[in-house]
Each structure stands twice: as structure tokens, then as C-alpha cells.
Amino acid sequence: MKTALLFLSFLSCLICTFPASAKHLQRKPRIDQYFASASPDEKLAFLFAMPKGADLDMEISGSAYAESIMASAAKKGLCLDNTLALQAPPCKEDQIPASKLLSDPVLQRHMLDAWSFPESQGTDRDRFFRTLGRFAMATHGMEGELLAKMASRAARDHVMYLEVEVEPDDGADALGKRLGWDGHFVNTLHNLQNNGISKIVQSATKTIKDFESEKNKRLKCGMQDADPGCMVAIGYLYGIDRTALPGEVFAKMETGLELASMPNSGFSGILLKGEEDQAVKDFNLHMQMLDFLKNLHPKAHVAVNAGELTPELATPEDLSFHVSEAVMLGHAQRIGSGSDIMFEVPDLPGKLAKMKVLVDICPSRIRAVLGDGSDALRLYLKHGVPVAISSCDGGLLRSELSPEYLKASTLDDLSYENLKRIARDSLEHSFLPGRSLWVNAEKFTPVRQCERDVIVGRMLNSFCQDYLEANRKAKLEWQLETEFKAFEKRY
């Protein structure tokens, strides 16, 4: 009898000591079972309420919905030509004033279709990229407005951090085009430095501050009726179009890496982007440029869209090395797309996992550009490669992060635990400043200062509080964990 009482007392002690951990372990099967058995509509509602960490690949021009583009084009007095692209005024005889878009419902519907690429429109790579260029004249100058809408939507979608790609009109490309590329890294860099590239860096910093100021004004940040979007953190990626001339690409890389090295510039890294198959001949050169410049800016973060190719778009030779070379030579810490991984060396996924390189996947974009079934998400997860799901050109694709999670979970048969790991990894591999909450991010083992706090789910000591205040990344990861605990209690 005494033995039985002692055992019950010991068991009771254990439960009292680890209440949050025990309950958490009991909850997991229920929430997994609910998600697995839910209908598509129930899953989408579930995902809208689920904390999702970060959206790491948002292109500011692609975030604009056709409705906003039409309003901006009309306000600017732009003109619509016969290719459905916007042109500067005055309008020619064969062009339509954009102001008609606000008063003609038939034309409005037509342009809504022309400037959008929802799932119902299938796969058309050429049209996708062509559409992005058609309305650029309208989105230029409305960056603060677009950022406000992105942040507000993110808050509603339970996303706490955005990394937004922007291309400031700072003159770096014009300078690079004027000076050209002579094939020598050192000479070209010296030419840029001797011709005022430092002033361009200062201009880009001011541009981001202006964007932020307009965004905060529209969201009423700091006021009593502030939009929840004010609480969404934003980091900026300096966008570089790989289809430009080599001199322009080099100048943009130098500008972006310099900005990403400055703690108060607003830029967290650079993103090399653009139609990959249109710049195949320069891919190796671009990686050599990154190798040279990254060694001069060791603290700057690098993301490269690579592997957005199929056998219809590239030769077997070009399919065989883009992802690996972006990482090994171009210093990429994140890869966007990575769809052609199965055409590269067989052990590459294992290397990416070992090097902790994250692959960022946008299901709707991959469907639009390459076709359904072209993503390699399941392959990456199988090999332990960190993965994030992003919305990319959400306005053009008419999608948000939750529908992207739903697409990924449906196409690749992902469980709730898979999606939770993806959300955690999105913050862990973001370019946020500071150290992580995790001493082991693969197993999500907390740092010593916050170990008990994470298990219990509330702040227990000043050591953890001090650590979070000193490390912005860890602070947002802590917030994600507390939101997960509250969310999982519902199930």
C-alpha cells in the first residue's frame, strides 16, 4: 500500500512540475487528426487562424491587386495601349485613357482578367512575366500604399514578419549601364566607387524611410485606432534583375550588399531574381560576381531564385547546376523555387540540409510558371532541408499565405506538424537581426536562457527577457511559440 501511495505521489509531482509540456504532448494528436480529416474549406479556415511566422518572398509590385492598379493608373492619367500595357500621357488616338477604367464596368472586368493570374488561368509562363511589366508604371510611386496593404493583410492572416523585395529608383542600374562591364571585378568596382556609388547607397536608404513613413501614416501607427498591420515587422530585400546587362547587375549587387551590411539601412539582404531561362548564359558570371562582392561584404545576406526551370526551358547542362552553384559559389543562404533539384547531383539535398540552406517555395507562382506538380517540396522535407512557403506575387496571383499553405498541404500531403515546422523555419531562416531562440533549430531546442520559459509557455525569468530584447529574431520566434500554444489549445 505504501509503495502504491509513493508511486502516485511521484506521478503527481511529475505532472505538477511539467504541466504545459504534458498537455502539449496530449494536444498534438488531436490537432493533427483534426487537420487530416478536415474538408478543404475547414482546412483553409484552420490555416487562416494558424500562426505562420514569416512570408519571405514578397515582391512589392507583384503584391498589387488589379483593382489598386486601375485606381492608380486613373489617378496618374495614364493610357492603355492595344497590348494592355500602361503608357505615359498624353494618350494617342489608339490608346484608352485609364480614367475610363473607373466608369466602364466591361473594360474594368477585362483589365481585371488581364492584370491577374488566378489559379483558374492555368500555366502560362510568358504571360505571367509579361503581365508584371504591363502595369509597372502604375505601381511606381505607390510603394507606401502597397506596403500598408501588405502589412494589414499579413496581420489578418496571422503572419508576423514580411521580407519584401523592392527595387529603389536609385540610379545604380543607370550608373552600371553607363560605366559598363569590362570583365574585371576590381576595375569595375573601382569605376563605380570613383563615380558616386556611395551617393546611390544613401539615396536608397532615404527611399526605404519614405516608404515606411507613408506605410505608417496609412496604417495610423502610434494612434489609438492603429491598424493591426502596424505590429507586423518588415525587412527589405534589395532586388536585382538578372536579365539586365552585366554592368547593371554588378552595380546593383554592390549597392544592395553595401546596404545590407549597414545596420540602419532597412535592408536585410539582396535577392537575385528574374526570368532564369532568359539569363542562362550569364548565370555563372552572376555567381562569380556574388562570390567576389560577398567576400567584401561578409555580413550581408544573399537570396537567389534558382532552379525555376524545366527541360522545356533549359538544356540538361543548364538544369544540372544552378541551385548548387548559387549556394557553393554565389553564397546563397536561401534559394527561391529550387524546382529542378532532381536534375542536379543526387546528394545535393543532403548538402543543403547540412549547410542549413532554406528553400523558399511559392505554390501558386510555380503553378503559373512551371505547372502543377513542379515543386520539389516533399523531396526537400524528406532530406531535412529547411523549407518556407511564401506568397510571392500575391496580388497578381490573387492569393495570400494561408491559401498557399493549403495548396502545399494538398499537393504534397502535408500534416499539421509539417506546416508548423515550415512556419518555424520561415523565421529561423529569415534575415532578421540577432540570434535565434533555438540552440538546435532542427529539434527546436531552446537556448539555455529561455529553456524552461519555452516549455511552460510564459516568461519565468529576467535572463530570457533580456535575451529576447537583445535579439530581434529570438523575440519574434518567442512570439510565434506563444501564439502556437494559444492556437493549439482550441483543439
Task: State pLDDT tens for residues 416-442.
Answer: 999 999 999 999 999 999 999 999 999
Angle formed at CA 294 by CA 308 and CA 471, multiple of 5 degrees = 90
DSSP notation for 423-488? HHHHHHTS--SS--SEEETTTTEEPGGGHHHHHHTS---HHHHHHHHH-HHHHHHHHHHHHHHHHH
DSSP notation for 302-316? EEEEE----TTTS-H
Q: What is the reported pLDDT for 12? A: 44
Q: What is the reported pLDDT for 249? A: 98
- Say which CATH class 54-60+139-414 falls into: alpha beta
C-alpha cell at 484: 502556437
Confidence of residue 28 (pLDDT cuts 50, 70, 90): low
**In whole numbers, what is the pLDDT of the chain averaged over residues?**
92
Three-class DSSP category at 96: strand
Q: Distance (Å, rounded) from C-alpha 173 to C-alpha 248?
A: 5
Q: Is the pTM of this model over 0.85?
A: yes
Q: Distance (Å, rounded) from C-alpha 227 to C-alpha 229?
A: 5
Name which of 29, 234, 32, 42 is nearest 152 in CA terms: 234
Confidence of residue 20 (pLDDT cuts 50, 70, 90): very low
H helix intervals, 88-142? 105-114, 125-134, 136-139
Q: What is the reported pLDDT for 21? A: 39
How do residues 102-135 score in pLDDT, each as one tens digit?
Answer: 999 999 999 999 999 988 888 899 999 999 889 9
Q: What is the reported pLDDT for 29? A: 73
Is residue 425 a contact partner of residue 384, using CB atoms and an 8 Å limit? no
Between the alpha carbon of residue 235 and those of residues 36, 132, 151, 156, 194, the distances in Å are: 34, 22, 12, 19, 30
State percent of the chain over pLDDT 70.
Answer: 94
Confidence of residue 461 (pLDDT cuts 50, 70, 90): confident
Q: What is the reported pLDDT for 8? A: 42
Confidence of residue 17 (pLDDT cuts 50, 70, 90): very low
How do residues 161-179 score in pLDDT, each as one tens digit?
Answer: 999 999 988 899 999 999 9
- Position 234 pLDDT exceeds 90: yes
**Cβ atoms within 10 Å, residue 223:** 11
Domain extents for the chain? Answer: 21-50+436-488, 54-60+139-414, 66-115
**Dihedral of the CA atoms 65, 304, 282, 278 (nearest 10)?**
-30
How do residues 342-396 score in pLDDT, each as one tens digit?
Answer: 999 889 999 999 999 999 999 999 999 998 766 799 999 999 999 999 999 999 9
How do residues 41-93 score in pLDDT, each as one tens digit?
Answer: 999 999 999 999 999 989 999 999 999 999 999 999 999 999 999 999 999 99
Query: What's the start-to-end Cα distance of the chain, in Å?
Result: 38
State percent of the chain over pLDDT 90.
Answer: 86
How do residues 37-49 score in pLDDT, each as one tens digit?
Answer: 999 999 999 999 9
Q: Element (H or E) spanning 422, and its range?
A: helix 416-428
How do residues 207-220 score in pLDDT, each as one tens digit?
Answer: 999 999 999 999 99
